[in-house]
A and B are shown apart, each in its own frame.
Chain A
Amino acid sequence: MTKKQKIMLGRILAAVALLIALHFAPVTGWVRFGLYLIPYLVIGYDILLKALKGIRNRQVFDESFLMAVATLGAIALALYEDSGDYTEAIAVMLFYQVGEWFQSYAVGKSRRNISDLMDIRPDYANVEREGRLERVDPDEVEIGTVIVVQPGEKVPIDGIVVEGASSLNTAALTGESLPRDTQQGDEIISGCINMTGLLKIRTTKEFGESTVSKILDLVENASSRKSKSEDFISKFARIYTPAVCGSALVLAVLPPLIRVFVLGLSAGWETWVYRALTFLVASCPCALVISIPLSFFAGIGGASKAGVLVKGSNYLETLSQTKIVVFDKTGTLTQGVFEVNGIHHSEMENAKLLEYAALAESASSHPISKSLQRAYGKELDRSRVRNIQEISGSGVIAQVDGLEVAAGNDKLMDRLGISYIPCHSVGTIIHLAIGGKYAGHIVISDVVKPHSKEAIQALKAAGVRRTVMLTGDAKAVADQVAAGLGVDQAYSQLLPAGKVEKVEELLSEKPEKAKLAFVGDGINDAPVLRRADIGIAMGAMGSDAAIEAADVVLMDDDPLKIATAIRISRKCLGIVYQNIIFAIGIKLLCLVLVALGFANMWLAIFADVGVMILAVLNAIRALFVKNL
């Protein structure tokens, strides 16, 4: 509770106590009026002052003005009728203040909750100086400094582990609860929590450029980008208040005049003025104005808890309308790492063939030769290899253990005049000829991520109508991956510019309301990420380009998170619409009831405070994303 809230609570309690005491006080007339004025001023003096200031600054139609007019009017009526019933005016002011207090408390509390949730900011870095650990401000640590992270501490700055091994908790960044192992030589990103061992890290970035700062910056600025719903509400509020004041005036004046001049009845001013005042109380637009941004704020907070960073409420809104999801293949649906997937028609033991291939290719740094070396798994004895000839675009020929080994594609075999067995598998095929004789081939292909298939199904279940895959890869590879995953369409052999064109084509085909999301790993698809209605970058841990180009950033590599993000956005938008409809609906209903004389000031207070409290509570629901 802040100081302001405490003071307000005190005033509320004092006013309640005074009211109760006065209820039993046997006073009448002007004394009674004077005594009742005390609790009224205790609870409402600031509102009256604010209303006055508003009038002076020509800002007439605000809440304080409404409250001041309504309560002063009620008191004036009580005086005029000489009923001595001042309780109602005081109660209205009291409930209004209770509502304000609650709003301030609830918003403050959720603001703190959400901020805590996103609190990955490290407070200090440990630097070793003259054999002693010193705590310094992360901002002051220069690139290349060795920092020490003890178990239980946050990694403050990006760097490379120079000593030690440990498990890292990346939950704050990715929402992933499985710890990640790290050891000497690994890159490490800030924001992770070191769990088990002491780590010494050489920093590679300044604090301001580190992952943790970038993410914090992004999240803190997220709700500044306003969604259409929020704009709608601000505009609505702008016309709503004057409209309501006007209606109240009409309600106070018109019916009595009609009664006198048309129907020939007595005017009944008290009734209509009372109704008009009640109307004013019921009309306060707080509930709407508070609950919509709060829903978005909670939604963004909840999403970041699940490892999904959304850059603004507008993106959350667009995300919820996603009907087409376009994927980049490599690095998004597949690992982007090549692996040996099969060895066929081998004349010798498979391991032996692999050994020859790995040795022949040992001098190359091509990803394919890397994957051969990885599959071989043992240390390569380079002294066994001689006379390596690289034949560009075809393969290599080398002497291994005195035998001539040729490893390469069909072009190489054709060139050497060796007949080979074509392969039915999809991927990169490496034929081997040893001593001038065909020895079999090795299939190397990219590996599909473990959750890719589930991810596509989850998207379908979440209401995505069409999934499309774009890739620079060969058609056969693309079609096989697409079929295996259940992607609707695949476009292959696209250059980066071709991907942009394809996305533009898809954008022009689709109906306006169905939004198109592009999912990439952010490495070379930044233009496409920007062009799509909404760009989703995956595996942002460490990739600055992704964080900058995308609208939504998934912190880990798991494509399943895309569907999660969509479901979170749907839930949040659902709550937003509920609140809009609920708040406007109840408001209008109460206003009608008041105007027709079916409701008193108590119902009006419910329409104001009650609706607001319910809307705020509903908004907070957007924070809970566990079971999505």
Chain B
Amino acid sequence: MKKTYKIDVDCANCANKMEQAAQKTEGVKTATVNFMTLKMVVEFLEGHDPKAVMQAVRKNCKRVESDCEVYLS
């Protein structure tokens, strides 16, 4: 399953870091961050609850880039 989330981040390098952080999160199959449209597309592994996974994604992103935001709704 694939879902798109709005994000907020200031620099392109930070967006790259968020992408890596999201990719490393458990339950995430692939993640792409598009800095230009400020969107994150996440594909989840089967058997994982997207909501719980996204909480973790958000946390991991915050860890690498304190100034970012992932809007979960």
| Contact in complex: B10, A100 (CB < 8 Å) | yes
Is B24 interfacial (CB 8 A cutoff)?
no
Q: Is A290 in the interface zone, CB < 8 Å from B? A: yes
Query: How long is the Cα–Cα vector from A541 to B37 in the complex, in angstroms?
Result: 25
Whether A289 contacts B12 by the Cβ 8 Å rule is yes
Q: Within the complex, which residue of A57, A114, A220, A238 is in contact with B64, where a contact is CB–CB below 8 Å?
A: A57
A-side contacts of B19, CB under 8 Å: 234
Given contacts A53-B66, A224-B34, contact A237 B13 (CB under 8 A): yes
Q: In the complex, given contacts A54-B66, A59-B17, A107-B36, what are 9 additional A-B residue pairs having Cβ atoms less than 8 angstroms apart?
A: A50-B67, A104-B11, A220-B37, A220-B39, A224-B39, A238-B16, A289-B11, A290-B13, A293-B12
Alpha-carbon gap, A100 to B35, bound state (A): 15
Establish whether residues A223 and B37, one from each chain, have CB atoms under 8 Å apart when the complex forms. Answer: yes
Q: Given the complex of chains A and B, what is the CA–CA distance between A224 and B41 in angstroms?
A: 8
CA distance A224 to B32 in the complex (A): 7
- Chain B min CB distance to A199 (Å): 33
**Cβ of B63 under 8 Å from chain A:** yes
- Assembly CA distance A57 to B21 (angstroms): 12
Which A104-127 residues have a C-beta within 8 angstroms of B? 104, 107, 111, 114
Whether A59 and B63, one on each chain, are in contact in the complex, defined by CB atoms closer than 8 angstroms, is yes
Interface presence of A221 (CB below 8 A) = yes
Chain A residues lying within 8 Å of B16, measured Cβ to Cβ, are: 234, 237-238, 289
Interface CB pairs A-B, < 8 A, 7: A63-B11, A104-B10, A221-B41, A224-B34, A289-B11, A289-B16, A294-B12
The answer, yes or no, to whether A226 is at the interface (CB within 8 Å) is yes
- By size class, the interface of chain B is 10 to 19
A111 CA to B37 CA, complexed, in Å: 7
Residue of B11, B37, B38 near A290 (CB, 8 A) is B11
- The winner among A114, A221, A224 for most chain B CB atoms within 10 A is A224
* Chain B residue contacts of A302, Cβ below 8 A: none
Interface bracket on A: 20 to 34
Complex CA–CA separation, A224 to B16 (angstroms): 12
- Annotate A282-301 by CB proximity to B: 1 below 8 A, 0 otherwise: 00011001100110010000
* CB of A71 closer than 8 Å to a CB of B: no
**Is the pair A289, B13 in contact by a Cβ cutoff of 8 Å?**
yes
Chain A, residues 215-226, CB within 8 Å of chain B (1/0): the string is: 000001101101
Report how far A237 CA is from B67 CA in the complex, Å. Answer: 19
CB distance from A96 to the nearest CB of B (A): 12
- Indicate whether A190 reaches chain B with its CB closer than 8 angstroms: no
A23 and B69 alpha carbons, distance in the complex (Å): 39
CA distance A237 to B20 in the complex (A): 12
Interface string of B25-47 (1 = CB under 8 A from A): 00000001011111101000000
| Distance A244 CA – B41 CA, assembled complex (angstroms) | 31
Q: Kindly supply a per-residue 1/0 record for chain A positions 75-119, scoring 1 wherever the CB is within 8 Å of any chain B CB and 0 otherwise.
A: 000000000000000000000000010011001000100100000
- Residue pair B36, A293 in contact (C-beta under 8 Å): yes
Q: Report chain A residues within 8 Å CB of B35.
A: 293
Chain B nearest CB: distance from A98 CB in Å?
14
Q: Which of B13, B34, B41, B66 has the most CB of A within 10 A?
A: B13
Chain A residues positioned under 8 Å from B64 (CB to CB) = 57, 59
Consensus secondary structure, chain A interface: helix
A495–B63 alpha-carbon span in the complex (Å): 57
Query: With the chains together, A305 CA to B19 CA distance in Å?
Result: 29
Min CB–CB distance A579 → chain B (angstroms) = 12
Contact A294 B36 (CB under 8 A): yes
Taking CB atoms, residues of chain A closer than 8 Å to B39 are 220, 224
B19 to A, closest residue via Cβ: A234
Q: How far is the CB of B18 from chain A (nearest CB, A)?
A: 12
Q: A111 contacts which chain B residues (CB < 8 A)? A: 36-38
Closest chain A residue, CB of each to CB of B33: A224
In the docked arrangement, what's the CA distance between A63 and B66, Å? 13
Contact B66 A50 (CB under 8 A): yes
Contacts of A289 in B (CB 8 A): 11-13, 16
Bound complex: CA of A574 vs CA of B69, how far in Å?
A: 33
Query: Which residues in window 257-309 of A have CB below 8 A to B?
Result: 285-286, 289-290, 293-294, 297
Q: A238 vs B63: C-alpha distance in the bound complex, in angstroms?
A: 17
Which residue of chain A lies nearest to B35 when distances are taken between CB atoms in the complex?
Answer: A293
B17 to chain A, nearest CB (A): 8
| Inter-subunit contact A63/B32 (CB<8 Å) | no
User: Do A100 and B11 touch across chains, with their CB atoms under 8 A apart?
Assistant: yes
Contact with B along A38-64 (1 / 0, CB 8 A): 000000000001100110010100110
From B32, B37, B41, B64, residue with most partner A Cβ within 10 Å: B37
- B37, A286: Cβ atoms under 8 Å? no
CA distance A306 to B32 in the complex (A): 27
Given contacts A50-B67, A111-B36, A224-B34, contact A286 B13 (CB under 8 A): yes
Minimum CB–CB distance from A550 to chain B (whole Å) comes to: 21
Q: In the assembly, what is the distance between CA of A234 and CA of B12, in Å?
A: 10
CA distance A220 to B35 in the complex (A): 12
**Whole-angstrom distance between the Cβ of B59 and the nearest chain A Cβ:** 11
Q: How far is the CB of B72 from chain A (nearest CB, A)?
A: 19
| Distance between B34 CB and nearest chain A CB, rounded to angstroms | 5
CA distance A226 to B16 in the complex (A): 12
Which residues from chain B contact A57 at a C-beta distance below 8 Å? Answer: 63-64, 66
8 Å CB contact of A63 from B13, B37, B38: B13
In the bound assembly, the distance between CA atoms of A409 and B39 in angstroms comes to 61
A580 to B5, CA, bound (A): 30
Name A221-249 residues within 8 Å CB distance of B. 221, 223-224, 226, 234, 237-238
Contact of A223 with B36 at beta-carbon distance under 8 Å, contacts A57-B64, A234-B16 already known: yes
Enumerate chain B residues within 8 angstroms of A285, measured Cβ to Cβ: 13
**Closest residue on chain B to residue A240 by CB atoms:** B13
CA distance A181 to B25 in the complex (A): 54
Question: What residues of A have a CB within 8 angstroms of the CB of B12 in the complex?
Answer: 286, 289-290, 293-294
Distance in angstroms between the alpha carbons of A53 and B66 in the assembled complex? 7
Centre residue among A114, A234, A286 by max chain B CB count within 10 A? A234
Q: Are A223 and B13 in contact (CB under 8 A)?
A: no
Report yes or no: B32 in contact with A226, Cβ–Cβ below 8 A: yes
A-B pairs with lowest CB-CB distance, top 7:
A297-B36, A290-B12, A289-B13, A289-B12, A53-B66, A57-B63, A224-B32
Least CB distance, B15 to chain A, in whole angstroms:
8
Interchain nearest-CB distance for B28 vs A (Å)? 15
Q: Produce 1/0 per residue, A11-48, CB < 8 A to B.
A: 00000000000000000000000000000000000000
